[in-house]
Amino acid sequence: DIQMTQSPSSLSASVGDRVTITCRASQSINSFLNWYQQKPGQAPELLIHTASSLHSGVPSRFSGSGSGTDFTLTISGLQPEDFATYHCQQTSSTPYTFGQGTKLEIK
């Protein structure tokens, strides 16, 4: 199975900050990497697919980059509604494994 490692596990930031979350795969997954946002008690929501493609309706302050084994999710200009947990997922080969999640908290 492909292991996905996110860092950091948690992050404190302020409204307006720019934050970056990284996700590393244990082997190359090309660009088959998705990012999801999850708020407490809710289902995950798709933010970015195929490493850098913004899902429909997602604000442009979210962006993704990377290929191979190293990927990043960047939020430029944090808004109050962005404080949540972020998950990466590889869809290069089954099982489609997730990272352990990054909890973004208000400083």
Partner 1 sequence: QVQLVQSGAEVKKPGASVKVSCNTSGYTFTRYGISWVRQAPGQGLEWMGWISGYNGNTNYAQKFQGRVTMTTDTSTSTAYLDLRSLRSDDTAVYFCTRDYYTSGSYYNPFWGQGTLVTVSS
Q: Which residues bind partner 1 (CB under 8 A)?
A: 1, 31-32, 34, 36, 38, 43-46, 49-50, 53, 55, 87, 89, 91, 94-101
Give one DSSP letter per residue of 64-92, joined into a string: EEEETTEEEEEEES--GGG-SEEEEEE-S
Nearer CB in complex with partner 1: 22/91? 91
- Whether residue 8 contacts residue 100, with contact meaning beta carbons closer than 8 Å, is answered with no
Minimum CB separation from partner 1 for residue 86, in Å? 11
Nearer CB in complex with partner 1: 68/101? 101
Nearer CB in complex with partner 1: 66/99? 99
Contacts of 88 (CB under 8 A, 6+ apart): 4, 6, 21, 23, 33, 34, 35, 36, 71, 73, 98, 99
Minimum CB separation from partner 1 for residue 6, in Å? 9
Minimum CB separation from partner 1 for residue 19, in Å? 19
